[in-house]
Structure 1
């Protein structure tokens, strides 16, 4: 006796219900979006505090490593604030990346790359921020003890703080991915697509250009505006 296997086809009502549930879940308030707001604020704080750590750019001591260390020793509070805001950004961004990936996956075609690309861009920002703060513990308090510090090494640290954390090109990648998801697939509100196209596109172009550190001035702003939009107004794509 032979039997014929037939594929199991889900009931139309069930399939429609699953699709509806998936779409509804995309518009529920999410903690990850508020984490993104916090990451945007912390990212802006990183750029501000980095800009306040100016010893290596002080025209009165340039070229004089011991004098630069003396100036840096007076900027320890700024450097501590830089460390705290930068590491807060590092801790928050993976959560934001995962949430944004899930949000875009729920409202874009199954084969769309926008979700993974947006998430990877934010992870790149987190890696740059982690590296940018990686020398902090080594130098934060050592600059107050010049007898145990090689001045030229502290100068390198000063340039490190003033450059690596500004590498927000990954946010430009994420912004453009969100723009594609919004303008092509209507996966998020259209105005977020415009924000991604303008601020994300500008961040990407700056990051690619020799003015790459300028991306740090636009990337956190894109993140803050986008996450506020998703946290407060993301009810219909």
Structure 2
């Protein structure tokens, strides 16, 4: 039965929203402000002025999470049809994206707790907790390293003739970088390469979805 293109468009949306969420979380920068460095109270007060950015981050990240799951399911089904019955590629691909979805879900999980408290009265928030929260959303949602495993899986599939070679090599480069970040102390750097790979891969997969 044809899959259509909905799942691929979901992947494209997840990648774009992943980039938007990353930009928004980067704008929540109270904890990185040199003027407030080491001063938990000052950091909390500045964080209270950045609630719109926090909400933008939360919304984009959670929408990306939902769309990523839809894309993962569609990709898994297509890979099963295009690779050998005993291939590890489909399972690896969906597992990698699952890791990203979990990181997004957990990464945005504290935003409601802090956003509403900061909006009502910054004094309701323990300053040290606010500092931790700012560090949390500046790292955990950026853990896109699992997408590197999916990129490498697509490279393997392309080598077997399942996809165009350019898609395979692109997945090797961006997926490989994301996978390297996954095992390094700079895991959050994958938040730059992972969403970019997803956008490029989704654009390439639109053609294969039409062929199916």
Which band: TM-score by shorter chain? Answer: over 0.9
Aligned alpha-carbon RMSD (Å): 1.5
Structure 2 residue 198 is matched with structure 1 residue 223: yes
Q: 1:181 aligns with which of 157, 176, 195?
A: 157
1:213, CA displacement in angstroms? Answer: 0.9
Q: Following the alignment from structure 1 to structure 2, what is the Cα–Cα distance between the partners of residues 29 and 138?
A: 39
TM-score (norm 2): 0.95
* Structure with higher helix content: 2
SS in 2 for 1:187: coil
1:143, CA displacement in angstroms? Answer: 1.9
Asked if 2 retains the 8 angstrom alpha-carbon contact of 1:189 and 1:234, the reply is no
Structure 2 residue 131 is matched with structure 1 residue 160: no
Structure 2 residue 17 is matched with structure 1 residue 30: no
Corresponding residue of 1:82: 57
Corresponding residue of 1:147: 123
Corresponding residue of 2:166: 191
1:234, CA displacement in angstroms? Answer: 5.2
Greater Rg by CA = 1
Q: 1:202 aligns with which of 177, 186, 199?
A: 177
1:94, CA displacement in angstroms? Answer: 1.2
Q: 1:43 aligns with which of 18, 26, 34?
A: 18
1:235, CA displacement in angstroms? Answer: 5.5
Structure 1 unaligned regions, length at least 5: 1-21
Q: Give the total of aligned pairs.
A: 211
Runs of 4+ in 1 over 3 A off after TM superposition: 232-237
- Of structures 1 and 2, the one with the larger relative CO (CA 8 A, separation 6+) is 2
SS in 2 for 1:101: helix
Corresponding residue of 2:74: 99
Q: Following the alignment from structure 1 to structure 2, what is the Cα–Cα distance between the partners of residues 141 and 94?
A: 28
